[in-house]
Amino acid sequence: MPSYTPPLRDMRFVMHEVLKVTDELKPIARYAEADAGTIDAVLEEGGKFATEAVFPLNAVGDTEGCSYDAATHEVRTPTGFKQAYAQYVEAGWPGLSADPRWGGQGLPLVVSQCFNEMLNSANQAWNMYPGLTHGAYAALATHGTDEQKQTYLPKMTSGQWTGTMCLTEAHCGTDLGLMRTRAEPQPDGSYRITGNKIFISAGEHDMSDNIIHLVLARLPDAPPGIKGVSLFIIPKFLVNQDGSLGARNSIYCGGLEHKMGIHGNATAQIVIDGATGWMIGQPNKGMQGMFVMMNAARLGVGNQSLGLIEVAYQNALAYAKERIQMRSLSGAKAKDKPADPIIVHPDVRKMLLTAKAYAEGGRALAVYCAVLLDKAHYHPDEKVRKDSDEMLSLLTPIVKAFTTDNGHIATNACLQVFGGHGYIREWGMEQFARDNRINMIYEGTNTIQSLDLLGRKVLGNNGATLKKFGKLVAQLVEEEGVNEKMAEFINPIAYLGDQMTKFTTEIGFKGFQNPDEVGAAAVDYLRVLGHLVHGYFWARMAQVALREIAAGNADPFYQAKLQTARFYFARLFPETLTLMRTARAGSKVLMDTDLALA
Confidence at 593, pLDDT banded by 50, 70, 90: very high
CB atoms within 10 A of CB 427: 18
d(CA 177, CA 104): 35
Phi, psi (5° rounding) for residue 438? -70, -25
Spatial CA neighbour of 200 closest among 125, 267, 131: 267
pLDDT of 233 over the 90 cut: yes
Quick: pLDDT tens for 526-541. 999 999 999 999 999 9
Distances from the Cα of 352 to the Cα of 1, 201, 242, 262, angstroms:
19, 31, 55, 24
Which class for 139: exposed (0-12), middle (13-18), buried (19 or more C-beta within 10 A)? buried
d(CA 111, CA 117): 10
Q: Do 8-66+77-143 and 446-590 come out as alike in CATH topology?
A: no
**CA angle in degrees (0–180, nearest 5) for 392-397-401:** 140
Question: What residue ranges do the domains of the chain occupy?
Answer: 8-66+77-143, 162-284, 446-590
Indicate the fold that domain 162-284 takes in CATH. Butyryl-CoA Dehydrogenase, subunit A; domain 2 (2.40.110)
Phi, psi (5° rounding) for residue 330? -100, 15
β-pair type (251-256, 237-239): unpaired
pLDDT of 39 over the 90 cut: yes
Please name the amino acid found at residue 90.
Answer: E
d(CA 168, CA 179): 8
Residues 466-479, mean pLDDT to the nearest whole number:
97
Residue 126: per-residue pLDDT: 98
pLDDT of 176 over the 90 cut: no
Residues 284-295, mean pLDDT to the nearest whole number:
86
Residue 148: per-residue pLDDT: 97
Q: Which region among 70-74, 479-483, 514-518 has the lowest average model confidence (pLDDT)? A: 479-483
Quick: pLDDT tens for 355-364. 999 999 999 9
Confidence at 246, pLDDT banded by 50, 70, 90: very high
Quick: pLDDT tens for 296-338. 889 999 999 999 999 999 999 999 999 999 999 999 999 999 9
d(CA 592, CA 598): 12
Asked if 548 and 16 count as a contact pair (C-beta separation under 8 A), the reply is: no
Residue 197: per-residue pLDDT: 97
Distances from the Cα of 43 to the Cα of 50, 466, 575, angstroms:
10, 33, 35
Residue 294: per-residue pLDDT: 83
**Second-level CATH architecture of 446-590:** Up-down Bundle (1.20)
d(CA 384, CA 95): 26
Is there a catalytic annotation at residue 575?
no
Catalytic residue among 204, 443, 480, 517: 443
Residue 497: per-residue pLDDT: 97
CB atoms within 10 A of CB 260: 11
Please state which of the four CATH numbers 3.30.470.20, 1.25.40.10, 1.10.540.10, 3.30.420.40 is assigned to the domain occupying 8-66+77-143.
1.10.540.10
Please name the amino acid found at residue 526.
Answer: L
Residues 196-225, mean pLDDT to the nearest whole number:
97
Quick: pLDDT tens for 445-464. 999 999 999 999 999 999 99
Asked if 129 and 275 count as a contact pair (C-beta separation under 8 A), the reply is: no
Report the share of the chain in percent with pLDDT over 70: 100
d(CA 328, CA 368): 40
Confidence at 289, pLDDT banded by 50, 70, 90: confident
Confidence at 175, pLDDT banded by 50, 70, 90: confident
Residues 423-429, mean pLDDT to the nearest whole number:
96
Residue 1: per-residue pLDDT: 84
Confidence at 177, pLDDT banded by 50, 70, 90: confident
Residues 504-520, mean pLDDT to the nearest whole number:
96
DSSP characters over 379-447: -S-HHHHHHHHHHHHHHHHHHHHHHHHHHHHHHHHHHHHTGGGGGSGGGSHHHHHHHHHGGGTSSS-HH
pLDDT of 481 over the 90 cut: no
DSSP characters over 527-589: HHHHHHHHHHHHHHHHHHHHHHHHTT---HHHHHHHHHHHHIIIIITTHHHHHHHHHTT-SHH
d(CA 103, CA 308): 31
d(CA 437, CA 289): 27
pLDDT of 293 over the 90 cut: no
Residue 260: per-residue pLDDT: 98
Confidence at 9, pLDDT banded by 50, 70, 90: very high
Mean pLDDT over the full length of the chain = 97
pLDDT of 291 over the 90 cut: no
Asked if 135 and 163 count as a contact pair (C-beta separation under 8 A), the reply is: yes
